[in-house]
Chains A and B, each alone.
Chain A
Amino acid sequence: MLTIEQEIYDAIVAHARRDHPDEACGVVAGPEGSDRPERFIPMVNAAGSPTFYEFDSTELLALYKDMDARDEEPVVVYHSHTATEAYPSRTDIGLASEPNAHYVLVSTREHGNSEGPVEFRSYRIIDGVVTEEEVTITPTQKTQEASTP
């Protein structure tokens, strides 16, 4: 199960809406081993594409070094689908390389850049096997550390 705070959930959805019709992508980091997604880090989709996403390689290194320095790991890896359902594509499954992460898929196919409900689903992707999991949204904690992208 993925447990995520309302504020971070909203930030992921807002990012997906903003970048529609291109795919949006990013990470929510959290303390290693905690399974708590705490620090929202939107990333640039270097592919700038409606059907593909990829973190820029230099930004990827900076991200991982930063998480390393903070004893964090990517608890959530998210991206959007802009014309299809919020289910991992064959490419998503083939390239998934964080066995401890929750892979969040948001679909903006219904409302695009506009307000309106979006599909928000979470999966484990391990060795090519996709397992969908429940998403629980909790009220935002006041003590949450401010995050800088």
Chain B
Amino acid sequence: MAIEVRIPTILRTYTDGAKAVEGSGGTLSALIDDLEGNHPGIKERLVEDKSGSVDLRRFVNVYINDEDVRFIGGLDAELADGDQVVVLPAVAGG
């Protein structure tokens, strides 16, 4: 099952400079594990341990087919073949 994942500039060090990579998984969580297999280190940049459970990092946005995953189940958001996933770090500061 192929899912296109768009990688932001800051994370392209994990993808040999590729702007997009392919991955697979029935949920966002499974997709991230799959990406980690091919691009070691990337998972750590996307998720963090929050009081015992793993969650998306606060300042990382992930979209499935243009929907912010925070509104569709977060790491449990479902994925299907042909979906497009976009990862964008928040543009934020103090």
User: Which residues in A have some Cβ–Cβ distance to B below 8 Å?
Assistant: 25, 27, 43, 47, 51-55, 57-58, 60-61, 64-65, 73-74, 77, 79, 88-92, 95-100
Contact = CB atoms under 8 A, between A and B. Distances in A.
B86 A96 contact: no
Interface string B1-14: 00000001110000
Contact of A54 (B8, B66, B88, B92): B92
Contacts of B66: 61
A91 B10 contact: no
9 contacts: A52-B93, A53-B92, A54-B92, A55-B92, A60-B61, A60-B90, A61-B88, A91-B92, A97-B91
Interface string B30-72: 0000000000000000000000000000010101001010100
A57 B56 CA distance: 14
User: Which 8 A-B residue pairs are closest in the complex by CB-CB distance?
Assistant: A91-B94, A97-B89, A92-B93, A54-B92, A89-B94, A55-B91, A97-B10, A57-B68
A57 B93 contact: no
A55 B68 CA distance: 13
B91 A61 contact: no
B86 A95 contact: no
Given A64-B86, A73-B9, 11 more contacts: A52-B93, A53-B92, A57-B70, A57-B90, A91-B94, A92-B93, A95-B89, A95-B90, A96-B93, A97-B89, A99-B10
B48 to A, nearest CB: 13
Given A98-B9, A99-B9, A61 B61 contact: yes
B93 A53 contact: yes
Contacts of A51: 94
